[in-house]
Amino acid sequence: MVPSLTPARLVRLCLKELRESLRDRRTIVTLVLMPLLVYPLLSLVLNRALLTNMTASQPGRMVRIGIASDLDGPQISAALSIGYAMLRDRSYAPLYLEQVIPDKRAEANLLDADSRAALPFPEILFLHDSGRQSLRDVAVDLLIASHTTTDELDLGEDDAGDVRAEDEATEAFDDPEADSTSTPTTLPLAQSPTAGGSSLAQLNPGDLMKVFGQYSVYYRDGDPQSERALQLLERMLTAVNNQVSREMIGRDFSTPFSLAATPVAIKSNYADLLATMVPLVLVLMTMAGAVYPAIDLTAGERERGTMESLIVSPTPSAVILLAKYSAVVTVALLTALANLGAMTVTLWVSGIGKLIFGEGVLSAGVIGIILLLLFLFTMFFAALLLAVTSFAKSFKEAQAYLIPLMLLALTPGVMSLMPGIKFTALLATVPLVNIVLLAREILIGSAEWNLALVAIICNTIYALAALVIASRLFGSDASMHGSKGSWRDLMLRPDKRQTYPTVDQMALTMAIMFPLYFVVSSSLPGFSSDLGTSLWLSAAASWLLILGVPLLATWYRKIQFSTTYRLAGPTGARWRVLLPAIVLIAASAWMIAHEIILLAQAVGIGVIQFDQFERVAEFQERLKQLPLVLVLLTLAVTPAICEEVLFRGFVLSSLHKKSTTWAIVLSAFLFGLMHVLTANVLAIERFLPTTFMGLILGWLAIRTASIWPGMLLHVLHNGLLLCMSHYEDQLKTWNALGENTEHLPVTWLVAGGLSLAAGLVMIKWTNRTQPVTGAMPLPATSTTNSSATSPTTGSS
Amino acid sequence: MHLISGIQCDNLIVLSDLVKRFQWAGETVNALNGLSFEVSAGEVFGLLGPNGAGKTTTLRIVMGLLAPDTGYAEVGGMRTGQHSSEVRAIIGMVSTNDGVYPWLTVREMLLYFADLYAVPVDRARDRLSTLATQLELGRFLDQRCSTLSTGQRQRVILARGLMHDPPVMLLDEPTRGLDVVGSQTVFQFIAHLKEMGKAVLLSTHRLDEAERVCDRFGLLHRGNLMYTGTLAEIRQATEQKHLTDMFLKMMRDNEQTTGEATWSPL
């Protein structure tokens, strides 16, 4: 009696593992105590690092106001000193203010004795450049950046104009290249107002009038010193305004000085480093959370002497391992959650988060995404841990294996802290680094979805491969029946031949092939700008990796080639039905694929961006310049052979033992996924049509028990599309082709649908009965079809 | 009630001409040399022999954890290597080295093993209360396993092997490390298993206890089954009254035949 695995039983099996882990004191320490201790300590260190960089918050330091080089510094400074003197000597402003702008009274009455002592006249710095770097570097607390004269303001500009000007200013501020070379040189000129007070009379009214107008000022958001500087500036200018209004009465200066203040989310120099450190610390803590349960649930079973009783139970050891895996993932996730919570609270309470990421970036959404990334990493790392610890016979042995593993993990972790390291295609395939860097990109708000998806897929593949290895190793030395188990059997060349590849061999092969292929294919455009050469190079990459890796695996593991790749061809008689059927499918499948793309776009999946559309159009233009033979060889024949061998050969054969339907669906899914990522851009729109083709090709391979019909169909399908693109201009002059974004004519679609159905029915039917040539089920369809495709076939 | 219904065979365990060799340090060691015996329902078979005689290897082959080089083992009429999960489902195995989960309570651990053997939840609860009465576990059923004494632990392990009510029990040195009272409980329980009609294969070196509880014996020495049969039959063959004497005679005889000078207990 083989016990059936009900979900409820699986859950109970998982619960035992979880219970065992969570009751262990050592798990609780990493889960609860560590985050409680680590983050407050970390925040102390970070605070110090940030404060040495951002001395602004130190009380007692003089407020520094910087004036950009293209402004009239001395005049502005003179005006400010007058304003300060007005504020200090309360005899001036209030009287007038009470009459004219009573609501401003409170504001004008700002400086009482205490705050006067607390707020000395600011240091005014005449900067040698735009001053942005100075504001960032805390050389100044407030930057007076630009000036719009009253005349300019009066030139019919309304509020909208101001807003635009402000936006431009902000943009200019954020432009990283604008000040990349500027040196924050400053010229200090502290011109304290004289004790006797100041009056506009000391100044030349003409000069003063030149500096009237609106000033764009920038202050550091969240920095109290900077905000104080802004307040002070506002008060001083209000005071000046009052005085101007008083002394120059009768002149039309409603507001001589006005301010447009823009907060700037300043990232300190440490911001990038910290944005990397946050996910790195989280990843490392999550790792720490997973390590103990992983050892305890595998090597621990051995040490307690419970392993054998698990192995002798009729429940397969892979199921028991799965329960352990889910428990390790859960504990690690709880650790991640505890750490993320502690970190968020720490960053929030200490105000560091605001300084690193600016306002609102560390939102619930971002935290959620980071948790998802940690989950993804945990999926991989837990499987890796279990693979290592399943191999160990005792706790000590497991720890001895894990120390090098942790050091190995730390190296890329520290590498990701290096300044200026970019999230590249290569790094997107490196475990741990891809998660840390992706999290960094998300934290600083510049994630690229293409690479993000690569990182996600790579992690998933690695996790699966590690899990497959772990389930082989788990309990392997307790059970020595047959040759199953142990590293030896997994890695070395076996003695026995096998008919089909196993799922774990497939997972391992894909885990090796996929990242390699992605890295190689995305680095190819750098080698040559010539399209012809690039095409040959990418074809070579396909031959080497997509074809080479599975073939090598098949040879090395002594898997039979003829069965795995279905090398036996259909008989000559069967070909007579297969051939027309394949032509029918090839001639019509692209129409269905085209409609699938449009349908998907209608629901919002894979909408092609305009620039991407342009790029594709440009690529097609360049393709047209090349000889058609080259294009067909590299883009039709090569992928047809390589991809059929991989997907309809190796992958399909490894899966089809359990269920053919699922094998076809899964191989088609992988086929589709691979095509989304082959190009340098994320071609989501290719997923559905490619998967659709994968379904047809997989079904064809199973139906005909041969790889050759599918290969032929693949060549014809790709070839037809390339020919249509090559002769696009001619086709258009004959009015045979619409725009790419248009639906095909209904008659075409009907013909295509019927032709596809006819082809499929014919193939289904050749397998049942011996083929009788000439008995086409739908002769009418094939005529319609041939007329529809005649321009293409005729010209090629 | 047995988990397997309709097993149409008298002998629940059949071993036929088992040969197992190990490669160890470049040498071939004959662990089993053509071992054959049967155990039927309601019978306790004692597999006796000194350390390294091949007792554990035999049990592991019966369990399906090891494949014999030649010969075969059948449990409930099924070859152990071929129907491993079916065979495992009808065997309960208790070994000396078995441990418990320190962080789980006795109840949790026993129910976990019921789940491993896919025993339905309500049936598992019934089995738990039955076994708790039979093995007197009630007092510490909700105690963590780390708090148990050696004797309590051994009873829990026995109960663990019986949660799925298997028709075949394999007991590997179940009394090692137990005091007199502890072993007494275990052997009483083995007698009880016999009454319940289970086929019990017991490996032990406690000859005195084995003499009382086993119906038939197999005297194993260096992979050779020297004598098999009931106590009376072996008495006749060896002309010795007690199992201990038979044992010693067997070892002496074996050494004379192989001509090896090894440690002699005399």
> Which residues of chain A have a CB within 8 Å of the CB of B89?
1-3, 314
The residue type at B17: D
Q: What is the pLDDT of residue B122?
A: 92
Indicate yes or no: CB of B88 within 8 angstroms of CB of A3.
Answer: no
Q: Measured over all CA atoms, what is the biggest interatomic distance in chain A, rounded to whole angstroms?
A: 115
Six-digit token string for B214: 């086993």
Are residues A385 and A447 in contact, defined by beta-carbon separation less than 8 angstroms?
no
CA distance A498 to chain B (A): 18
* Neighbouring C-alpha atoms within 13 Å toward the C-beta of A434: 27
- ipTM of predicted complex: 0.87
CA distance B189 to chain A (A): 20
The residue type at B33: N
Q: What is the pLDDT of residue A711?
A: 93
The torsion angles phi and psi of A461, rounded to 5 degrees, stand at: -65, -45
> Which single residue is written with the structure tokens 């071939």?
B28
Indicate yes or no: CB of B118 within 8 angstroms of CB of A312.
Answer: no
Indicate yes or no: CB of A480 within 8 angstroms of CB of B66.
Answer: yes
Structure letter (DSSP) for residue B105: B
Judged by a CB distance cut-off of 8 A, whether residue A25 touches chain B is: no
CA distance B160 to chain A (A): 9
Measured from the Cβ of residue A319, the count of other Cβ atoms closer than 10 Å reads: 17
Q: What is the pLDDT of residue A328?
A: 94
Nearest chain B residue to A24, by CA: B103
Regions in chain A scoring below 70 on pLDDT: 1-3, 46-61, 88-119, 136-137, 150-207, 222, 246-255, 265-272, 351-362, 419-420, 476-492, 604-613, 677-683, 734-742, 767-796
In 3-state terms, what secondary structure has residue B225? strand
Nearest chain B residue to A15, by CA: B112
Select the residue of B84, B89, B118 nearest A9 (Cβ to Cβ). B118
Please report, in tens digits, the pLDDT of each residue of chain B (266 residues total): 344 444 555 788 999 988 988 877 677 778 888 889 999 998 999 998 887 788 888 988 898 888 888 899 999 888 887 888 888 899 999 887 788 999 999 999 999 999 999 999 999 999 999 999 988 888 999 999 989 988 888 889 999 999 999 999 999 888 887 888 888 888 888 988 988 889 999 998 777 778 888 899 888 888 888 888 888 888 888 777 777 787 787 777 766 655 444 444 43
DSSP line for B169-223: EEEESTTTT--HHHHHHHHHHHHHHHHTT-EEEEEES-HHHHHHH-SEEEEEETT
Judged by a CB distance cut-off of 8 A, whether residue A477 touches chain B is: no
Question: Which is it for the CA torsion A356, A358, A359, A363, positive or negative?
Answer: negative
CA distance B239 to chain A (A): 40
Over residues A629-669, the pLDDT tens digits come to 888 898 889 999 999 999 999 999 988 877 888 899 989 98
Indicate yes or no: CB of B118 within 8 angstroms of CB of A3.
Answer: yes
Q: What is the pLDDT of residue A251?
A: 56
How far is the C-alpha of B92 from the C-alpha of B71, rounded, in Å? Answer: 23
Judged by a CB distance cut-off of 8 A, whether residue A2 touches chain B is: yes
> Which single residue is written with the structure tokens 């559905």?
A688
CA distance A555 to chain B (A): 28
Select the residue of B67, B93, B108 nearest A482 (Cβ to Cβ). B67
Q: What is the pLDDT of residue B179?
A: 82
Over residues A280-328, the pLDDT tens digits come to 888 888 888 888 899 989 888 888 888 888 888 888 888 999 999 999 9
Q: What is the pLDDT of residue B166?
A: 92
Indicate yes or no: CB of A313 within 8 angstroms of CB of B90.
Answer: no
Chain A, chain B: beta-carbon pairs less than 8 Å apart? 92
Over residues A622-636, the pLDDT tens digits come to 888 888 888 889 888
pTM: 0.66
Indicate yes or no: CB of A19 within 8 angstroms of CB of B66.
Answer: no
Q: Measuring CA to CA, which residue among A209, A308, A225, A291 is closest to residue A257?
A: A209
CA distance A19 to chain B (A): 8
> Which residues of chain B have a CB within 8 Å of the CB of A16?
104, 108, 112, 115
Select the residue of A1, A23, A312 nearest B4 (Cβ to Cβ). A1
Q: What residues does B35 pair with on adjacent strands? A: B18
Judged by a CB distance cut-off of 8 A, whether residue A316 touches chain B is: yes
Q: What is the pLDDT of residue A357?
A: 61
Indicate yes or no: CB of A3 within 8 angstroms of CB of B95.
Answer: no
Strand pairing report for B199-204 and B44-48:
parallel
Select the residue of A309, A479, A480 nearest B98 (Cβ to Cβ). A309
Indicate yes or no: CB of A3 within 8 angstroms of CB of B93.
Answer: no
In 3-state terms, what secondary structure has residue B34? strand
Indicate yes or no: CB of B117 within 8 angstroms of CB of A479.
Answer: no
Indicate yes or no: CB of A1 within 8 angstroms of CB of B117.
Answer: no
Q: What is the pLDDT of residue A550?
A: 92
Q: Which of A5, A16, A477 to mutate to test the interface with B (most CBs of B within 10 A)?
A: A16
Nearest chain A residue to B59, by CA: A312
Q: Measuring CA to CA, which residue among A595, A574, A528, A611 is closest to residue A770?
A: A574
Nearest chain A residue to B116, by CA: A315
In 3-state terms, what secondary structure has residue B15? strand
Q: Measuring CA to CA, which residue among A694, A560, A578, A704 is closest to residue A639?
A: A694
Indicate yes or no: CB of A316 within 8 angstroms of CB of B85.
Answer: yes
A426 CB contacts (<8 Å, ≥6 apart)? A519, A523
Judged by a CB distance cut-off of 8 A, whether residue A395 touches chain B is: no
> Which residues of chain A have a CB within 8 Å of the CB of B160?
309
Interface of B with A (CB under 8 A): 3-4, 63-67, 81, 84-86, 88-91, 93, 95, 97-104, 108, 111-113, 115-118, 160-161
A753-767 b/e with 16+ CB inside 10 Å = b? ebbbbbbbebbeebe
Q: Measuring CA to CA, which residue among A281, A414, A252 is closest to residue A342?
A: A281
Q: Which of B86, B97, B103 to mutate to test the interface with A (most CBs of A within 10 A)?
A: B103
> Which residues of chain B have a CB within 8 Å of the CB of A26?
none
CA distance to A27, B197, B236, per residue, from B230 (Å): 54, 18, 10
Select the residue of A9, A16, A312 nearest B108 (Cβ to Cβ). A16
Select the residue of B81, B86, B93 nearest A312 (Cβ to Cβ). B93
Q: Which of B84, B110, B116 to mutate to test the interface with A (most CBs of A within 10 A)?
A: B116
A616 burial level (CB within 10 Å; 0-12, 13-18, 19+): middle
> Which residues of chain B have a CB within 8 Å of the CB of A1?
3-4, 86, 89-90
How far is the C-alpha of A515 from the C-alpha of A429, rounded, in Å? Answer: 6
Q: Which of B115, B147, B157, B163 to mutate to test the interface with A (most CBs of A within 10 A)?
A: B115
How far is the C-alpha of A242 from the C-alpha of A109, rounded, in Å? Answer: 12
Q: What is the pLDDT of residue A620?
A: 79
